[in-house]
Amino acid sequence: MSELRLQKFLAEAGVASRRKCEELMLQGRVEVNGVKITELGSKVDAGDIVKVDGKEVMQEEKKVYILLNKPVGLITTSKDQFSRKTVLDLIEGVKERIYPVGRLDYDTSGLLLLTNDGDLSYKLTHPSCETNKVYQAKIKGVLNDSAIQAFKTGIGIDGYTTSPARIKVLERTSTDSLIEVTIHEGKNRQVRRMFEAVGYSVIKLRRISIGPVKLGNLEEGAWRHLTPEEVKSLNKTV
Ligand code: URA
């Protein structure tokens, strides 16, 4: 934590609203390292012990939820042994320690969530999570009916059978097709491997939504905070 005004610290820790926290200070109910603090400009730093009515207040970091339109060519892990660029290099001006929720391949683009909310992240990436993720895949060739049927019933990939997926052909030319696939699992390279298993190769892959959160027309490489409504509805899906 960097130095913070005491009333902000108290509000972020969930004691009360910032205004109410100021009142608590003025009432002499707040102490820092054993000293009563009534001055509203006072600051606290990491390691300071803050108490309200004699009870210690634990710092809670503000929860941050970010939606990034990940470009191809970045990794989603925070550190890379080959020093490749990571998605975190694109997020500037956020002081909280955020990290990606799950992963998108180096060669996949689209919607990636980043947060410091460990609870939500855990639930969204847990195998039991049934939140839908929607992908658009440009594939080589024209998808035949048996491949479409295989997506709908489940496809064997390395000894694992995928859950039934939703599949829609969005566009088709003589050489390739644009397909929308909806799954709720998150096996490594799952969508690519599902197509490969039925005989098609993926030229491009992009994730366009996770549950109620949509990529929309955010530019590649750009990011934004989720709205409170998006956070609320995402929490409802897990
Ligand atoms: N499926 C894939 O094949 N790759 C991703 O990045 C995500 C899902």
First-last CA distance in the chain:
30
Q: Cα of 238 to ligand 1 centre, how many Å?
A: 20
Ligand 1 environment, Cβ below 6 A = 104-105, 108, 189-192, 205
Query: What is the atom index within ligand 1 of the atom nearest the CA of 108?
Result: 6
Structural contact between residues 176 and 190, judged by C-beta atoms closer than 8 angstroms: no
User: For residue 62, what pLDDT is reported?
Assistant: 82
Q: Which regions of the chain carry the CATH code 3.10.290.10?
A: 4-56
| Pair type for strands 108-115 and 202-210 | parallel
The mean pLDDT values, 10 residues at a time, for the chain of 238 residues are 84 82 95 96 90 89 93 85 86 89 95 92 90 98 96 95 97 95 95 97 98 97 97 94
Please give the C-alpha separations between residue 189 and each of 103, 130, 194, in angstroms, as whole numbers. Answer: 10, 18, 9
- Tell me what pLDDT residue 228 has: 95
Task: Please name the amino acid found at residue 238.
Answer: V
Looking at residue 2, what is its pLDDT? 65
- Catalytic center residues: 105
Q: Which atom of ligand 1 is nearest to the CA of 107?
A: 6
Task: Give the CATH number of domain 65-127+213-237.
Answer: 3.30.70.580
> What is the per-residue pLDDT for 60?
72
What does each C-alpha distance from 129 to 9, 123, 134, 166 come to in angstroms? 34, 6, 14, 16
Domain 132-210, CATH: 3.30.70.1560
Residues of the chain with CATH 3.30.70.1560: 132-210
For 4-56, CATH gives 3.10.290.10
Which atom of ligand 1 is least distant from the CA of 202? 3
pLDDT at 49: 94
Whose CA is closest to atom 3 on ligand 1?
189
Ligand 1 centroid, distance to 65 Cα (angstroms) = 21
CA pair distance 231, 213, nearest whole angstrom: 9
pLDDT at 79: 67
